[in-house]
Chain A
């Protein structure tokens, strides 16, 4: 047998039959242009270099944008709440965001542990109006509920959830679970886009 037929991962012997094996020579390691402070992380069957394992999605730049420009069809209980951002942040490498005209309807997350937070800013026709909302993992409500009311000081209560995805993917959305005197989508105005956010942090 010739030494030239020997190979460990991608490492080949030199002229003296010595094989120098670096970590990137292993079959399940893929290191591409490593830079300072990157780390190796195991994902989808491969170890690869990546930025620090703190990844996040943030939607909610605070822009003035009328909710009527979203694709939402209702502000009644059960309706999906959309979030506006013309340049959203997404550093979760295997996540995808579903959006139309910069309005986000849902986020699809892969295997991992996450903390999801949401604040909504829908408006109401009555000073006693309010809505409750929760984070949904696929069809199930998870975590604590948030509340939004008539006055802008009543915007800021968060719905929050810790989500564990052990296999496959999950779709994350925010839905109203109760709604009293909420203005219609066409009459919402800018407050929701100005004061809402949806944040996902992988932990």
Chain B
């Protein structure tokens, strides 16, 4: 048999035995600049833009006056009584903090007033993987100077996920709280409160809040 009878990916060589540039059979489509080749759920490979990573946030939104209340922990009526109430998703049915959820990431909240007031206090993670957690937060501006809360990312089962961080007023030192959680099947994470000193929560400094979770 002559070598000219050979075909490669259904392409026969020309009379000089040359083949034009081949395309791999198990890669679908053409790549554009900056794209990567990814394995999909059917175990096929194709070129796509940067792969999606699940992420969720709670962030500053719609202030509601300058009144304040003392921070208190534990919240005995909460499923996770030692997790900080990050802020109100709703107060009396009015959205106060913007938030987003994503596949496998769902914000948990304590409900008051028949469910019309909801304070986010944790994140439900479903699906295995490594997640990066960060919290930029501050105690209320009506707190006394030097007021603070010590928090740490933890799972609901008490696994410590990062350093303890002292968070003060927004006009004092701003410290971020970082953690990583390696999830096998599912987990609930939140900001475990270690200590509170003169810290108040008030409703006019929502713009100082950003809680962010991302699958990495």
> Residues on A close to B: CB < 8 A?
1-3, 6, 8, 13, 17-26, 34-41, 49, 52-56, 58, 60-63, 89, 91, 119, 121, 151-157, 194-197, 199
Contacts across chains A and B counted by CB atoms under 8 Å? 133
State which residues 1-21 of B face A: CB under 8 Å.
Answer: 1, 3, 5-10
**Residues of A with C-beta under 8 A to B1:** 2-3, 17
Contact A13 B6 (CB under 8 A): yes
- Within the complex, the shortest CB–CB distance from B10 to chain A, in Å, comes to 7
Q: What are 9 inter-chain pairs, A to B, with CB distance below 8 A?
A: A13-B6, A24-B26, A34-B39, A56-B216, A60-B162, A62-B162, A91-B130, A153-B172, A157-B173
Which listed residue (B27, B130, B165) contacts A89, Cβ 8 A?
Answer: B130
- Within the complex, the shortest CB–CB distance from A67 to chain B, in Å, comes to 14
Contact B7 A195 (CB under 8 A): no
Per the bound structure, the CA–CA distance linking A36 and B161 in Å amounts to 27
- Which 8 pairs across A and B sit closest by C-beta, in order of nearness? A156-B175, A23-B24, A22-B26, A34-B39, A40-B37, A152-B166, A19-B8, A58-B180
**Residues of B with C-beta under 8 A to A195:** 163-166
Query: Considering only CB atoms, which chain B residue lies closest to A195 in the complex?
Result: B163
**Residues of A with C-beta under 8 A to B43:** 34, 36
- Within the complex, the shortest CB–CB distance from A53 to chain B, in Å, comes to 7
Residue total for B at the interface (Cβ-Cβ under 8 A): 46
**Residues of B with C-beta under 8 A to A24:** 26
- Within the complex, the shortest CB–CB distance from B153 to chain A, in Å, comes to 8
Whether A39 contacts B37 in the complex (CB less than 8 A), given A18-B10, A197-B178, comes out as yes
Contact B53 A34 (CB under 8 A): no
**Residues of B with C-beta under 8 A to A39:** 36-39, 51
Which listed residue (A19, A26, A38, A62) contacts B6, Cβ 8 A?
Answer: A19
**Residues of A with C-beta under 8 A to B22:** 21
**Residues of B with C-beta under 8 A to A25:** 24
**Residues of B with C-beta under 8 A to A40:** 36-37, 45
B92 at the interface (CB under 8 A from A): no
- Please, what's the 1-or-0 string for B120-146, where 1 marks a CB less than 8 Å from any CB in chain A? 000000000010100000000000001
- Within the complex, the shortest CB–CB distance from B184 to chain A, in Å, comes to 13
Query: Considering only CB atoms, which chain B residue lies closest to A40 in the complex?
Result: B37
**Residues of A with C-beta under 8 A to B38:** 37-39
Per the bound structure, the CA–CA distance linking A80 and B20 in Å amounts to 57
Query: Considering only CB atoms, which chain A residue lies closest to B192 in the complex?
Result: A62
- Within the complex, the shortest CB–CB distance from A193 to chain B, in Å, comes to 9
**Residues of B with C-beta under 8 A to A8:** 8
Contact B25 A22 (CB under 8 A): yes
Contact B166 A89 (CB under 8 A): no
